[in-house]
A and B are shown apart, each in its own frame.
Chain A
Amino acid sequence: GAVVSQHPSWVICKSGTSVKIECRSLDFQATTMFWYRQFPKQSLMLMATSNEGSKATYEQGVEKDKFLINHASLTLSTLTVTSAHPEDSSFYICSARWDRGEQPQHFGDGTRLSIL
């Protein structure tokens, strides 16, 4: 079964709206969560790395004031796309890792964001 839950699956909203995406680890404590973005027919591009209780580390070119990440607990991280515009339309996928041993990253089901 799923080990990472992501919500919502689909979002369609108007330009200028802020959208919050939740990512929860199920049955394990995710010390590290990652947020990726994927455009059609392209690979997953890492946006930021989130550690519980500390500020997220953003990849080069990702605006931290636009993509707000909060990792308030060991099972929950949120990504808020502030004042979204059509160019932010993409597939956003969270991933969680239990940092004990060589564990794979488990992915949520993704959120398809469409900004009109």
Chain B
Amino acid sequence: GQNIDQPTEMTATEGAIVQINCTYQTSGFNGLFWYQQHAGEAPTFLSYNVLDGLEEKGRFSSFLSRSKGYSYLLLKELQMKDSASYLCAVRPGRRALTFGSGTRLQVQP
């Protein structure tokens, strides 16, 4: 089966850095994805890791350790518009993405 865990809620201050962790246990692994979802909207793709290490994309970075079943999404220079849910998702083989329950991030002034 699939099990993906991430914190339910986090709060951070505008301009700061926040790290959202994700741990997973899946049968089969073919990549870990991070999506951003604003309330009432569909998810938008942020990042993808299939090999261990850090992938940087502007203010967003994502890290993966396959041996530990662990990933994190790092958001730098937080802006108010970054308030959203962040979804960790794993692709088990060639099947559909399996999503965690998401982390609701609230950015405060």
Query: Which of A's residues lie within 8 Å of B, judged by CB?
Result: 6, 34, 42-46, 49, 91, 93, 95, 99, 102, 104-110, 112
Contact = CB atoms under 8 A, between A and B. Distances in A.
A46 B96 contact: yes
B63 interface: no
A109 B102 CA distance: 18
Nearest to A106: B45
A43 B87 contact: yes
Given A44-B43, A44-B87, A110-B42, A102 B48 contact: yes
Given A49-B96, A104-B45, A109-B42, 20 more contacts: A34-B97, A42-B101, A43-B101, A44-B87, A46-B97, A49-B95, A95-B96, A99-B94, A102-B30, A102-B48, A102-B50, A104-B33, A104-B48, A105-B97, A107-B42, A107-B43, A107-B44, A109-B41, A110-B42, A112-B40
Interface residues of B, number: 22
Q: Say what secondary structure dominates the interface of chain B.
A: loop
A45, A99, A104: most-surrounded residue (chain B CB, <10 A): A104
Contacts of A110: 41-42
A46 B96 CA distance: 8
A28 to B, nearest CB: 14
A43 B33 contact: no
B96 A34 contact: yes
A105 B102 CA distance: 17
A105 B33 CA distance: 9
Q: Which 10 A-B pairs have the closest CB atoms?
A: A107-B42, A43-B101, A110-B42, A34-B96, A43-B99, A44-B99, A104-B45, A46-B96, A109-B42, A93-B42
Contacts of A107: 35, 42-44
A36 to B, nearest CB: 8
Given A43-B100, A44-B87, A46-B96, A102 B31 contact: yes
A79 B31 CA distance: 27
A105 B48 contact: no
A46 B102 CA distance: 15
A112 B95 CA distance: 25
